[in-house]
A and B are shown apart, each in its own frame.
Chain A
Amino acid sequence: MKPVSFLISFLKYSLSFIIVLALWEAYARYGGLNELFLPRPSKIGAKLYSLFVKVEVIEQGTIYWHFYATLAQMSIGFAYGITIGTTLAVLAAFNETFRRYVAPYAVVFNVTPGIAVLPLIIAWFGFGWESKIALATLVCFFPPFINTLTGLLKKNDEAIELFQTIGATQSQYFWKQQLPNALPEVFAGLKLAITTALLGTIVAQFGSATEGVGILMQRFAFRLDMAGSFASLVTMAIMGLLVFTIAEVMDRRIVFWRDAKGLERVSKKKQRKLMVNG
C-alpha cells in the first residue's frame, strides 16, 4: 500500500472511532447518560492522562510498573506454555503410542476451563507472581500443542516420496520439509496462545495480587470509579494490541511465504545478497 493511500484509509478508520467517541461524549453531556455506568470519554481521557503522564501512584506503583508486571508474568507463562505445548506435540507427532495414550489427556484437560483451576492455583502458588505465571501457562499451552501436532502431521505423500528419492535422512526431512511446512499452523497456535496467556495473567490478578493491570481494574471497579476502570480497560487494550502486533509481525516475518508481499520482499533481498557476494 502506498503511504498516501494508507494515510487516507487510516484517517477514514480513525474517523469512525472519533465519531463514536464524540457521540458518546455529547450524549453524556446533554442527554443524560448515567455516568455511574458509563463515564464520558473526556473523563476517561483525563484519568489516562493522570495515570500515564502525571504518573500517579496507585496500588503502590505507577501504571508503568503495573504494565510491566503484567507483561512480564504473561511472557514467562507464555514461554512455559509454548515449551510444554510444542514438546508434547513433537513427542506425539513422532511416537504413535504416545499420541494414542497421552494426547487424549491433553484434550480432556482442555475441556476443563483452565480458568476454573484459579482458586487451586492461588492456594498452591500463593499471591505472588508464581500463581499468575502458572495460570497463564495452564491456559495457553493447548493451542501450541494442538496446532503444532496438526502441522507436523499434515498429509504430504508426494513430498515424502521426493525426499526418499533424493536420499534424505529422517532429520533432514524434519528440518527441511516437515518443520517449515508446519510453521503456519505453529504460528497460528502461538498467536492464540499469547492472547490467552495475557487473559490468564489478568484473571489470576483478579483473584488476588498486589500489582498488575488486573488488580487495578478490580480495585477501580469495586470503588465504582468507572473512569478509572475504563482507563484500566484502555490500558489492557493497548497491552493486548501490543502483544498481538508483536505476534502478527513475527508471523509475517517468519512465515513470509504465505502472501505475495512477503514473497516479493524476501525474493528481492536474496537477489541483492547475491549481487553483493558477487
Chain B
Amino acid sequence: MAATAKKTEDLSQFGQTVIEGKNVTKVFGETVTALEGANFDIRAGEFISLVGPSGCGKSTLLRLVAGLIEKTSGDVKVNDDLVTKPRTDIGMMFQKAVLLDWRTAIENVLLPSEMKHRITQEDKDKAMASLELVGLKGFEFHFPKQLSGGMQQRVALARLIQTGADIMLMDEPFGALDEFTRERLNVELMRIVGELKATTLFVTHNIQEAIYLADRVMVMTPRPGKIAEIIEVKFERPRDISIQTSREFNIIIEQVRDTLGSH
C-alpha cells in the first residue's frame, strides 16, 4: 500500500472528501479475494478513473461505493455516512445501457423520477434538458432499439443526470462501443461532468480513456485486487483530445503500464 500516499497531492482545487474507503476488503465466497485493503479518498468535483485488467476488483470497488454489495471488512463512507445499503444519492452507468426496450428515450430518462413521485411537468422539462445536454435533442421519442449503441449510452447518461445525483459511478460505460464513438463520448462526458460539477468514479480498462478524463488515475492490479498506485493527471480543463498525443500524456501512460506490468 506504499504507493497510495507517496506523492504530495495538490487537491486544493477540489472540495471536501465525499467518498472515502479505509482498508476495504471484499471476499467472495470463502476464498476469492476481489479487493484487498483498498484506501481511497475522493473529493467533491473530482474525476477518478479506475484502470486495470479484468479481475482486479474495479467493479467490486464501484459496487461497494454504490452499496450494491457488502464489504467483508473495512469502511466505505459516502458524504461521511457509512454505506450499508444501496444509495440513491449516487447515479450509475453500466457497460450495457440497461434501457427498458418498451419505453421511449424520454420515458427511460424519467424512470428515476417515477420512483419518487408522480411525473410532473417539471420532471419532463428536466428530462428534455438532460437529453439535450447529452446531444439527443430530436430523439426523445425514439425507442432504444431505434438508436445506435452510442446513442443508447447517451440516454443512460441522461437518465443518470435526471437522478440529480452529484456522485456518478460509471462501470466501463463505453466499453462496448467502437473507438470513434468512444472518443466522441469521452469529449462530451468531459464537457457534461464539468458543467454539472459532479464527482465521478469511472471504471475502464482503456488506459488512454482513463488518463484523458481523470484528475487522478487509480491503477489496480489483480489476484488479489489491489490499488497499486494513484497517479495525478494535471492537464488544464477543458482538455482537448489532442493532449493524448503529447509527451506528458505518454509519460503517464508509461507509468500506468509499468505499474500494471510489474505485477
Q: Check whether chain A touches chain B (CB < 8 angstroms).
A: yes
- A125 close to chain B: CB less than 8 A: no
Is A257's CB under 8 angstroms from B145's CB?
yes
Partner of A161, one of B68, B101, B114, B145: B68
Jot down 9 A-B pairs with beta carbons below 8 A, ordered by A: A161-B63, A162-B94, A162-B98, A165-B87, A166-B111, A167-B112, A167-B116, A168-B115, A263-B143
Q: Mark A161-181, 1 if CB is under 8 A from B, else 0.
A: 110111111001000110011
Is A161's CB under 8 angstroms from B111's CB?
no
- A260 close to chain B: CB less than 8 A: yes
CA distance A263 to B145 in the complex (A): 8
- CB contacts (< 8 Å) of A274 on chain B: these are 141
- A65 close to chain B: CB less than 8 A: no
- CB contacts (< 8 Å) of B218 on chain A: these are none
- CB contacts (< 8 Å) of B141 on chain A: these are 267-268, 270-271, 274
| Chain A residue with the shortest CB-CB distance to B145 | A263
The smallest C-beta distance from B156 to any residue of chain A, in angstroms, reads 9
Is A176's CB under 8 angstroms from B100's CB?
yes
- B86 close to chain A: CB less than 8 A: yes
Interface residues of B in 26-79 (CB under 8 A from A): 63, 66, 68
**In the complex, how many residues of chain A place their beta carbon closer than 8 angstroms to a beta carbon of chain B?**
28
CA distance A265 to B20 in the complex (A): 49
Is A165's CB under 8 angstroms from B66's CB?
yes
Partner of A267, one of B87, B115, B146: B146
**In the complex, how many residues of chain B place their beta carbon closer than 8 angstroms to a beta carbon of chain A?**
28
The smallest C-beta distance from B123 to any residue of chain A, in angstroms, reads 13
Is A267's CB under 8 angstroms from B104's CB?
yes
Partner of B100, one of A177, A267, A270: A177
Nearest 3 Cβ contacts at the A-B interface: A167-B88, A164-B86, A166-B112
- A264 close to chain B: CB less than 8 A: yes
Interface residues of B in 102-129 (CB under 8 A from A): 102, 104, 111-112, 114-116
| Chain A residue with the shortest CB-CB distance to B86 | A164
CA distance A133 to B116 in the complex (A): 45
Is A270's CB under 8 angstroms from B115's CB?
no
- CB contacts (< 8 Å) of A177 on chain B: these are 100
- B163 close to chain A: CB less than 8 A: yes
- CB contacts (< 8 Å) of B68 on chain A: these are 161, 164-165
Residues of B with Cβ closer than 8 Å to A? Answer: 63, 66, 68, 86-88, 90-92, 94-96, 98, 100-102, 104, 111-112, 114-116, 141-143, 145-146, 163
Partner of A256, one of B88, B95, B102: B102
- A266 close to chain B: CB less than 8 A: yes
The smallest C-beta distance from A8 to any residue of chain B, in angstroms, reads 29
- CB contacts (< 8 Å) of A260 on chain B: these are 145-146
Is A161's CB under 8 angstroms from B102's CB?
no
* 13 new A-B contacts at CB < 8 Å, known A166-B163, A263-B143: A158-B96, A161-B63, A161-B68, A162-B92, A165-B88, A165-B92, A165-B163, A167-B115, A168-B115, A176-B114, A257-B145, A267-B143, A268-B141
CA distance A161 to B115 in the complex (A): 14
The smallest C-beta distance from A196 to any residue of chain B, in angstroms, reads 27
Is B90's CB under 8 angstroms from A172's CB?
no
- CB contacts (< 8 Å) of B94 on chain A: these are 158, 161-162
The smallest C-beta distance from B203 to any residue of chain A, in angstroms, reads 13
- CB contacts (< 8 Å) of A164 on chain B: these are 66, 68, 86
CA distance A11 to B98 in the complex (A): 44
- CB contacts (< 8 Å) of A172 on chain B: these are 114-115
Is A266's CB under 8 angstroms from B143's CB?
yes
Interface residues of A in 123-171 (CB under 8 A from B): 158-159, 161-162, 164-169
| Chain A residue with the shortest CB-CB distance to B87 | A165
Is A263's CB under 8 angstroms from B87's CB?
no
CA distance A100 to B68 in the complex (A): 27
| Interface-central residue, A166, A255, A274, by most chain B CB under 10 Å | A166
The smallest C-beta distance from A96 to any residue of chain B, in angstroms, reads 20
- CB contacts (< 8 Å) of A161 on chain B: these are 63, 66, 68, 92, 94
Partner of A257, one of B63, B101, B116, B163: B101
| Chain A residue with the shortest CB-CB distance to B88 | A167
The smallest C-beta distance from B252 to any residue of chain A, in angstroms, reads 31
CA distance A178 to B100 in the complex (A): 10
